[in-house]
Structure 1
Amino acid sequence: MAPWAAVLGLVALLAVGVLAIYLVSLVISPRGTLGTGPFLSGTRPQEHALSRYHVRWYAVTLVFLAFDMEMVFMYPWALVVAEVGPVAVVEMFIFLGLLMVGVVYAWREGAFRWS
């Protein structure tokens, strides 16, 4: 049991911390204003929370994910590019070219127009 004492102590400490944060939030949170007060921006919502979103938000989200994936793959590439050499540089330019094809396609389809 001795090897697990540190793990159990850490789990107990974590449980105490979570309970403490929960109790503090219960003590200092305002009462009775949920649902009647302003939303996060300070104004009342103009539409219902279950209303539909315009399709352009989904297109922008997909373009953002493409750029996000680019950064996720470029970081490990940057760590090993010196070891691998020119092959890694060519592969990264091919990868960036494929992503650019997607961006040009989204641009031509009007994903970036807001009118």
Structure 2
Amino acid sequence: DVQIHKELAGSIQQIFQEIYDSGEQFPIYSVGGYNWRGDTSSSEHCLGTALDINPNENYQCKNDGTAIVGKYWKPNEDPYSIPADGIVVKTFEKYGFRWGGTFRNSKNYMHFSYFGT
């Protein structure tokens, strides 16, 4: 179970079904959604419009590669790391989500957000 904004629940179910049904069969063992981070937080997790997938293998890091959250990102080496050109990114983008691997100020390879933050 994952908590997400009720308006996105149907889309999230469809996204995970498409990922599951794909030939890639990407392994997902951990998903985080809604998470209150305080009154001053701008995180979409506070709104229930962001998800994190397999956080240890899809870290958030500074542009120099220093880990902020998680351990590493090794797509095509670790099966739990999300490849930039894989079914997970493609499916979330199809439904209007932005992948944190495309962020400029830091990379967040686990993160998918509806409003792109």
* TM surpasses 0.5: no
Give TM-score scaled by structure 1 length: 0.24
**By percentage of residues, which structure has more strand?**
2
**By percentage of residues, which structure has more helix?**
1
Larger Rg: 1
Give TM-score scaled by structure 2 length: 0.23
